[in-house]
Amino acid sequence: MFSIGLMLGALLAGLITGALGGLASIIPEAVRLWTLAPIVAVILVFELAGRPLSLPQNRRLVPQDVIPRADFAGPLQFGFEMGTGVRTFTPTALPQLLVLVIVLAGGLGPGLLTGLGFGVGRALMPLSRALSGDPRRWDTKLLASTAWVGRLCATGFLLSLALLWT
């Protein structure tokens, strides 16, 4: 139940992002793309080099009392707050860059797909940790490979951009 609520909350965040993308369409496409290109390039260069940029963010995590709520509201709130960045802590600038790309170049469809992808990805992390059999070892392995995880995410981001602009 938690994973479904988390995905729906993130999907809602994607809907909002996509709607903002619809509003951004009043800006000429050339202006949007020429604004976006250098920002994407700088952030991805740092990410692929294993030195991710940390942009300004609200460094408050979603309260732990939201997660164990038995009703559907807890996971929905968690997914929405994480997906919109109301409360978040990210060691990379990729989530903010994704929102910027969706707003300036995406639209409603890509916004919804982004929200769904974020929700699925966010739900898979705690699920894979729980199913690992040894959560502490899982944490250690993740921390030891954060640079490679960032590079993998940046590569996925580039592939997503290629799909968006084709």
Under a CB-based contact definition with an 8 Å cutoff, are residues 122 and 6 in contact? yes
Task: Flag the least confident range among 59-68, 70-79, 123-132.
Answer: 59-68
Average model confidence (pLDDT) across the chain: 76
Distance between CA 40 and CA 155 in Å, rounded?
A: 12
pLDDT digits (tens, 9 = 90+) for 143-155: 888 788 888 888 8
Please state the domain extents for the chain: 2-164
Under a CB-based contact definition with an 8 Å cutoff, are residues 79 and 137 in contact? no
pLDDT of 114 above 60:
yes
State residue 38's pLDDT score.
93
State residue 16's pLDDT score.
75
pLDDT digits (tens, 9 = 90+) for 38-72: 998 998 898 888 888 877 666 666 666 666 665 66
Distance between CA 24 and CA 140 in Å, rounded?
A: 42
Distance between CA 109 and CA 121 in Å, rounded?
A: 18
Looking at per-residue confidence, does 98 or 166 come out higher? 98
3-state DSSP helix/strand/coil percent for the chain, to nearest 5? 75, 0, 25
Under a CB-based contact definition with an 8 Å cutoff, are residues 100 and 38 in contact? no
Which amino acid does the sequence have at 101?
V
Which amino acid does the sequence have at 97?
L
Tell me if the pTM is above 0.85. Answer: no
State residue 101's pLDDT score.
82
Q: Is 110 exposed, middle or buried (0-12, 13-18, 19+ CB in 10 A)?
A: buried
Which amino acid does the sequence have at 144?
A
